[in-house]
Structure 1
Amino acid sequence: MSKKKGTWGTEMNYVREVIRLHYELKKNRNEIAQSLGISHATVSRILGLAGERGVALLALGDAELKALMYPNPAGPKPSTTKAPIDFAHVVSELGRKSMTRALLYQEYAKANEGSAVYSYSNFCAQLRQYQQSHKVTMLLSHPPGEVCYLDYAGMTIPIYDAITGVVLFCAQILVATLAYSGYTYAEAQRAQSEECFVNGIVRALGFFGGVVATLVPDNLKAGVISHTKRVIRLSRAIVELAGYYRLWVDPTRVRRPRDKAKVEERVRAVQNWVLAPLRNEHFTSLATLNEAIAKGIDELNDRPFTKMTGSRTERFQTERAHLRPLPEVAFSYGRWLSLKVPPNYHLTIGEVSYSVPYVLVAKTVEVRITEGLVEIFHAGQRVGSHQRSYQTGEVVTDVAHLHPRHAAYLDSLSIETIVAKLVAIGPSVGALGDLLAGEPPLSEAKRRSLTRLLDLAHVHGAGELEAACHWALANNTTNLASVVSILETKVYLTGDQPRPPVSPIHDNLRHHDEFTNTEREA
């Protein structure tokens, strides 16, 4: 038993011990005073007030025993004639911005002008006593696998440029804690943005190896659009994440840190035991910083409890069995855009154009952009998706999105279609077309050559073109210019060799004799 006097309750313990030692153990006043470390006079006063009732006083409560032992307690008696103070109103007003106790005391004194009022010091003393008596907190208990708290640490870690040594940015530290076991995850992020926050939650769930029933984040702008007493508006990405993992997101109340006391305590632990030891380190990337944080987090989770046996890692082994299994594919953060479909029914996102169904021209669609996918939605239904491209100027088109006339036109321009038409004209024309197409890749120049060969059938007729191509293949003159010359000279009718194309005569042509002269003018 402590021998330091404090509250009335502690003094009542002394009173009970004095009575017990004297009436039950028959100890004298000197022995009692020496045993309890109190004065002989105090022992005599207690026994005198106890009188004949003796041991019967041990059954009394503190209030009754106090009234008997201290009928006139020290200190000034509160005056019953002074104007009472409405402490509930005072405490409520103190919660308002720029409100002070001095102003509230002035209002109290003015409202009771003409009556006796308490002094300012007495006013403040009674206010403190009222606040302490109404300062009650509730200890919450959480079943395993039920709640995960999320918050950012106030402490940041600078990331330096590897060459110049200049600070590029200060990494933000996200902390996630399971309520039951206290098992903790932390990571460094570039900023407290929506994308970083959502991806951090995904990695935290992966670290825990399962899904909890409820996420309790702070009121971060990255996840909570607005939070009033009646309505909580979460960001679209957080709503998507909650639906994907089938969990409930319940942000803490505004300016109520006790709602997330568990993670507040873990944030302090992360700052003290993980981040503080890294204060003199020079990190040039988030990857190296997160490696150091991961090592510190493992040590923190393995640290033994101070008030009970085991560690958070050991306690987590019990909680792990209560977590729901993770989906096979982790959630992918997506950025949303609302765009109007132009007449060419291709949406420009960044520097790449993606097609949408042509029937949606002039209508507004929603686009979800992830790291590897572009999805288009209209009226709540997905109407198209493309693999995301990072090649500047590329046009990504789904053939199913094309207008029928546009699809037919593109089909007519395809090399496969042109070659099929050439084969239909005749076997020799088809064989020459295959030679002109050559091996993949099929370039635009090859397509133009095939198209020109097909046009020759319209100019000279299918039969003439088949004969010309047959003669060209037989004489191994398979370039397009030779076929044109064969059609013009109709050499396939006479059996003569085709004449080479004649170049036009103009002033820029030089005779071959000019190149045989070895003398040059100075």
Structure 2
Amino acid sequence: MRCLPMMTITEILRLKEEIHLTCREIGEAAGCSKSTVSGILSRCKKCGLTYQDALQLSPARINELIYPDAFGRKQSKEEPDWEVYHKELLINPRRNLQYIWQEEYRPEYPDGYSYSRFCAKYNEWKDNTGKNVVMPQEREPGKELFIDWIGDTLPCVVDNITGEKHEAHFFVTTLGDSSYPFVEAFPDETQLNWNQAHIDAFEWYGGLPRILVPDNCKTAVVHTNLYDPKINEAYNALARHYQVAIIPARVRKPRDKASVESGVGWLETWLLEWLKGRIYYSFEALNHDIRERVLELVEVKFKHRPGSRRSNFIAIDKPALRPLPQDRFEAFTTRKVSKVPNNYHVKFADFYYSVPYSYYKRSVVIHAYAKKIEIFDVVGNRIAIHQRRYAGQRYVTNTDHMPANHQAIAEFNGFNGTYYKQKAFRIGPNTFNFVDKLISSYEFEEQAYKSCMAVINFSRTYGDTRVENACEKALSLNSVTYTTLKNILKNGQDSLPIKQSSSDADTPTPYHENLRIGEWM
């Protein structure tokens, strides 16, 4: 007996139960023989299938009831729990179907499906449960900015001094309904560059979306969680400044940001392939060419919708964007220091920056900008600010951060020849000449610093006038030493007139306008 379609079976039951036709009449109406109609009615009676029941059942179930030999369940192998395996694949990115089949399924079901049949049955289960179908998503204009890094890098930037090649990493965003892209190259994917790329993207679009949809990279999300993801502190600061929300895409759910995923694929072909083989000597030059190329690409017409990315951006997304704030956000990266060491300096990028000594053993947070370093306590109060250093001395110290005894030592260590000459010049020209010759008389000027300090301190004991006269006396004697000056002042010889020498060679050079003392003022 041939199998009839479900609609024909349902029609035969209707004609029999609702209209009460004969088998011959039903056969003529349904397009089958009298014996076929009789056989179908007999099978329906045997399995208890009525017309009303048939209306509620699926075609597969009706076939199973009427043709059990052809459509009945013949599977002798026990079906695994596909839902469990499916969740394992979603939760653990390192697992795949082959691992589950080999390590979990086969030990439990030694006579079960082969690997190819296992995969086929799993995909069949996904089809039947709707796991493989895609929900169409219509983007609200100007609402969401989708963000990602292109997976591929290019060694296209060369250091013109060392000749070393640097990899270019490409930051990509697409906006709203138009998928209008922004692309910028960076030497790495650090927090500072991540935030700076967002700032540049907002300015490229000329406005702000309401929601940022990044991937789950560490520069965006510190701790991934479906219900309460922990957003990176520096990234959150940017979002607060621009008044935008951050809603990360779900882990291993590329369709959450299908716009940027398709944009990445499109740009890998039409931008990265175009850049291959090109050499640049700065990232500024590379980004100039990237923007010129993107402006060309966005004019290309869509294949399956009217217009281009640019025309749709101008008509749909651009009017929906919010205006940019007046103040531009300064991108920074953060680093938490769990305990300030006993030298009250915290490390960032191989340099050490001071904090007030009272924060010894306490936690602080460093905000590193391109040109400055700010340090905050755990409740957000700024406690220190420094110019960021990339070369030179490794310790950057504000003396106000020191305890009193350290300040005294630092002050003494900070005195140099320039300092003592400045102090001497304020007393008078003879004192300046005395200190200048005193420093010059030593092979290493640091050896003269204590004697210079004594000369300056004499003014506190004897006054500026007596020190000035004593220095003039010592210069006339051609004896520029601490001991000579001390004896002159101690014995009151500074008040005695200076004896003129017959030889001008021993006369100290008088003070005049050509002396190089202006720089010490």
Correspondence for 1:89: 81
Instruction: Say yes or no: does 1:270 pair with 2:271.
Output: no
**Counterpart among 172, 176, 179 of residue 173 in structure 2:** 176
Give the superposition deviation at 1:177: 0.4
- Deviation of 1:357 after TM superposition, in Å, equals 1.6
Change (3 A) 1:379 1:126: closer
Once residues 348 and 117 of structure 2 are traced to their aligned partners in structure 1, the CA distance between those partners, rounded to angstroms, is: 68
1:390 is displaced (CA, Å) by 3.5
Distance in 2 of aligned mates of 1:293 and 1:47: 71
Q: 1:148 offset after TM fit, Å? A: 0.8
CA contact (8 A) 2:233 2:334 kept: no
Deviations 1:421-471 (A, max 9, x none): 999xxxx95665577789xxxx9899766522234357xx527x7346247
Pairing 1:76-115 to 2, within 5 Å after superposition: 78-80=70-72, 82=74, 89-90=81-82, 92-93=84-85, 96=89, 97=95, 98-100=99-101
Superposition pairs of residues 194-205 of structure 1, within 5 angstroms? 194-205=191-202
Q: CA deviation at 1:270?
A: 0.8
Does the 8 Å CA contact 1:437/1:447 hold for their aligned counterparts?
no
CA distance in 1, matches of 2:322, 2:447: 58
Q: What's the counterpart of residue 336 of structure 1?
A: 335
Calculate percent identity across the aligned residue pairs. Answer: 25
Contact 1:87 1:130 in 2 (8 A): no
Look up the match of 2:140: 143
1:393 aligns with 2:393: yes
Q: 1:142 to 1:281 in 2, by over 3 A?
A: same
Look up the equivalent residue of 1:159 and give its one-letter code. C
Find the residue that maps to 1:302 and give its secondary structure: coil
Shift of 1:224: 2.9
State the secondary structure of the residue aligned to 2:100: coil
Does the alignment pair 1:244 with 2:244? no
Q: Structure 1 residues 85-94 or 255-264, which shifts more?
A: 85-94
Distance 2:171 2:138 in 1: 24
In 2 relative to 1, CA 447–265 (structure 1 residues): closer, same or farther, beyond 3 Å? Answer: same
Deviations for 1:307-338, whole angstroms, at most 9, x for unmatched residues? 33322212222422332333422332224141
CA distance in 1, matches of 2:400, 2:428: 29
Q: CA offsets, 1:136-184, max 9 Å, x none?
A: 3212223222111112223332326578999835433221101222110
- How far 1:375 sits from its partner (Å)? 1.6
The one-letter code sitting in structure 2 at the alignment partner of 1:196 is N
Structure 1: 5+ residue runs without aligned partners? 1-7, 9-44, 51-62, 112-117, 501-522
Which amino acid is the alignment partner of residue 387 of structure 1? Q
C-alpha deviations, 1:460-492, integer Å up to 9, x for none? x527x7346247669996999287275477555
Code of the residue aligned with 2:239 in structure 1: it is A
Q: What is the alpha-carbon distance in structure 2 between the residues aligned to residue 103 and residue 402 of structure 1?
A: 63
Report the residue type matching 1:99 in the other structure: I
Give the letter for the 2:357 counterpart.
Y
Equivalent position of 1:355 in the other structure: 354
Question: Is the contact between residue 486 and residue 498 of structure 1 (CA under 8 Å) also seen in structure 2?
Answer: no
**1:87, 1:127 within 8 Å by CA — same for their partners in 2?**
no
Alignment RMSD:
5.3
CA 1:285–1:156: 2 relative to 1, 3 Å? same
Supply the AA of the counterpart residue of 2:388: R
Q: Deviations over 1:94-146 (max 9, x none)?
A: 564423499969978979xxxxxx99999988875554352332122232221
3-state SS of paired residue (2:171): strand
Equivalent residue for 2:369? Answer: 370
What do the CA deviations read for 1:212-261 (whole angstroms, capped 9, x no partner)?
22111222244333324444233333333333333222221122121111
Contact 1:352 1:395 in 2 (8 A): yes
User: For residues 316 and 469 of structure 1, do their structure 2 counterparts lie closer, same or farther at Cα, with a shift above 3 Å needed?
Assistant: same
Counterpart position of 2:480: 481
Aligned counterpart, 1:403? 403
Is 1:308 matched up with 2:305?
Answer: yes
Partner of 2:497: 495
User: Residues 252 and 487 (structure 1 numbering): CA distance in 2 closer, same or farther, change over 3 Å?
Assistant: same
Task: Give the 3 Å change call, closer, same or farther, for CA 86–276 of structure 1 in structure 2.
Answer: farther
For the residue of structure 2 that corresponds to 1:481, the secondary structure is coil
Partners of 1:49 and 1:230 lie apart in 2 by 59
Counterpart in the other structure of 2:465: 466
Please give the residue correspondences for 1:118-129 in structure 2 after superposition, counting only pairs within 5 Å: none
Are the structure 2 counterparts of residues 77 and 476 from structure 1 closer, same or farther at C-alpha, using a change threshold of 3 Å?
A: same
User: Against the structure 1 CA distance between its residues 333 and 46, is the aligned structure 2 distance closer, same or farther, given a 3 Å change threshold?
Assistant: farther
Matches within 5 A, 1:286-301: 286-301=283-298
Aligned residue pair count: 427
Whether 1:323 aligns to 2:324 is no
Q: Which residue of structure 2 lines up, in the alignment, with residue 132 of structure 1?
A: 127
Secondary structure of 1:186 counterpart: strand
Question: Over residues 3-50 of structure 1, what are the superposed CA-to-partner deviations in whole Å (9 max), with x where a residue is unaligned?
Answer: xxxxx9xxxxxxxxxxxxxxxxxxxxxxxxxxxxxxxxxxxx999949
Correspondence 1:216 to 2:213: yes
Aligned counterpart, 1:56: none
Maintained 8 Å contact 2:209/2:244 = yes
Give 1:279 deviation, angstroms.
Answer: 3.1
Distance in 2 (CA, whole Å) between partners of 1:294 and 1:217 is 22
**TM-score, length-scaled by structure 2:** 0.64
Classify 1:445/1:297 alpha carbon distance in 2 versus 1 (closer, same or farther; 3 Å).
farther
Distance in 2 (alpha carbons) for counterparts of 1:124 and 1:348: 53
- Whole-Å separation in 2 of the counterparts to 1:343 and 1:121: 64
Cα distance change of structure 1 residues 48 and 226 upon mapping to structure 2, 3 Å threshold:
same
TM-score normalised per structure 1: 0.64
SS state of the match for residue 366, structure 2? Answer: strand
One-letter amino acid of the structure 2 residue matched with residue 359 of structure 1: S
Equivalent position amino acid for 2:275 in 1: L
